[in-house]
């Protein structure tokens, strides 16, 4: 009897050790990479530092950019004339009571089947007179929000321009002013910012108005009639600014201008679902300005010279969820205009006395 019990105990101990070994082996294999198959990489954006294609694109861009820049008046006048002839930005970029009379029909540039009859209420929100007709500036700056402008010390250079355009309500304080400046004559606001950051202005609105103080009495340009969802929140932005007596001046993009601009760039070979705010404002500035400088335009996430990683924006690293803009393609067109002496791109840091 004792011999049977002893045999049973030995058998149980043996089986227990086998089971324990199998469990430990299984757990261990769950924590190591298989030897025969490497794990698949996640679909998160790759750093261009490990992207040979991006490095090659950067190399090509620098070869074109490294040529000594000089304005070419003939090229500038030719391109500006083409742009003006097709798009008429000076007269049509912004909705006014002059270019869009009461009773007009607006066709949304992002939803071609959506239209809006201009009634008295809508008409009253339009600028009362043309804002740009027969007015040009000698020097202008369009400031993009790319991470390349961070730590660039370009603030004073940007502020020396007569007319400064900024995109999508960027922050200008907390140390950023050294690199991007503070002067603002026109700033755009994507309605998605109003929806996400300010609860579509359906709740408390004071923080929205307080954050607009950075831009003084500049124009606040909204694409109110690009998509149906843009209209109510853009109107609430205008009403909020009026209610709080903010000095900033809200105005609306003319959807007909945005449509003509899309057609123009397609004729140049640029294929994009939607033009970015940056190239839209650059296009307008080319009609407004004799000498145009661009800052914060760079489509890659490593610096062209230091090769250090860059954040998506100079103030955060938030990525867009849906890719509707053709940023590298747009940049290549801007780089071509730079090489032709039509406008000037700034990719490096600014010298203290650079203007």
Of 303, 325, 338, 346, the catalytic one is 325
The full set of domains in the chain, from first to last, is: 138-346 (3.90.1480.20)
178 and 155 Cβ atoms separated by less than 8 Å = yes
User: What confidence score (pLDDT) does residue 325 get?
Assistant: 64
345 has pLDDT over 50 = yes
Mean pLDDT of the 297-326 span? 86
Residue 35 known to be catalytic: no
Q: Summarize pLDDT for 149-159 with one digit per residue, the tens.
A: 999 999 999 99
For residues 289 and 47, the model is more confident at 289
Is-above-0.95 flag for pTM? no
Q: How confident is the model at residue 106 (pLDDT cuts 50, 70, 90)?
A: very high
The predicted structure's pLDDT at residue 44: 33
- What is the pLDDT at residue 24? 39
- pLDDT tens digits, residue range 238-294? 999 999 999 999 999 999 999 999 999 999 999 888 999 999 999 999 999 999 999
Residue with the bigger pLDDT between 13 and 81: it is 81
Residue 142: beta bridge partners? Answer: 165, 294
Q: How far apart are CA 207 and CA 234, in angstroms?
A: 16
Answer whether 280's CB lies under 8 Å from 110's CB: no
What pLDDT shows up at residue 35?
31
pLDDT tens readout for residues 178-210: 999 999 999 999 999 999 999 999 999 999 999
Q: What's the pLDDT band for 68 if we cut at 50, 70, 90?
A: very high
Residue among 102, 95, 149, 147 at smallest CA distance from 123: 102
Distance CA 262, CA 330 (A): 12
* Segment 118-135 mean pLDDT: 93
Confidence of residue 134 (pLDDT cuts 50, 70, 90): confident
**Percent with pLDDT over 90 in the chain:** 76
Place of tokens 């004799």: 290
Residues 6+ apart with CB under 8 A from 299: 146, 327, 328, 330, 331
Quote the radius of gyration of the chain (alpha carbons, Å).
Answer: 28
Residue 38: band (very low, low, confident or very high) from pLDDT cuts 50, 70, 90: very low
- Examine the pLDDT at 321 and tell me if it is beyond 70: no
């Amino acid at each position: 009897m004792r011999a049977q019990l002893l045999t049973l105990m030995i058998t149980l101990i043996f089986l227990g050790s086998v089971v324990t070994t199998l469990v430990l082996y299984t757990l261990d294999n769950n924590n190591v990479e298989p030897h025969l198959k490497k794990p698949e990489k996640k679909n998160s954006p790759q750093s261009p530092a490990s992207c040979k294609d991006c490095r090659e694109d950067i190399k090509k861009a620098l070869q074109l950019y490294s040529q000594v820049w000089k304005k070419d008046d003939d090229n500038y006048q030719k391109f500006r004339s083409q742009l003006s002839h097709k798009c008429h930005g000076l007269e049509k970029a912004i909705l006014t009571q002059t270019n869009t009379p009461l009773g007009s029909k607006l066709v949304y540039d992002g939803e071609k089947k959506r239209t809006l009859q201009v009634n008295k209420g809508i008409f009253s929100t339009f600028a009362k007179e043309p804002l740009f007709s027969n007015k040009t500036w000698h020097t202008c700056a369009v400031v993009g929000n790319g991470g390349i402008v961070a730590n660039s010390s370009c603030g004073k250079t940007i502020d020396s321009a007569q007319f400064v355009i900024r995109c999508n309500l960027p922050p200008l304080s907390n140390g950023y002013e050294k690199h991007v400046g503070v002067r603002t004559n026109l700033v755009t606001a994507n309605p998605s910012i109003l929806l996400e950051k300010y609860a579509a202005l359906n709740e408390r609105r004071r923080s929205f108005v307080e954050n607009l103080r950075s831009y003084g009495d500049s124009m606040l340009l909204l694409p109110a009639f690009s998509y149906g969802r843009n209209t109510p929140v853009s109107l609430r932005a205008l009403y909020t600014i009026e209610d709080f007596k903010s000095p900033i001046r809200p105005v609306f993009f003319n959807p007909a201008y945005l449509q003509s601009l899309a057609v123009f760039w397609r004729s140049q070979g640029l294929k994009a679902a939607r033009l970015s705010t940056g190239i839209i404002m650059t296009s307008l500035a080319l009609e407004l300005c004799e000498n145009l400088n661009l800052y914060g335009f760079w489509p890659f996430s490593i610096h062209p010279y230091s090769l250090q990683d860059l954040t998506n924006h100079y103030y955060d690293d938030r990525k867009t969820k849906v890719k509707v803009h053709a940023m590298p393609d747009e940049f290549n067109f801007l780089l071509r205009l730079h090489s032709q002496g039509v406008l000037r791109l700034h990719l490096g840091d600014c010298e203290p006395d650079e203007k």
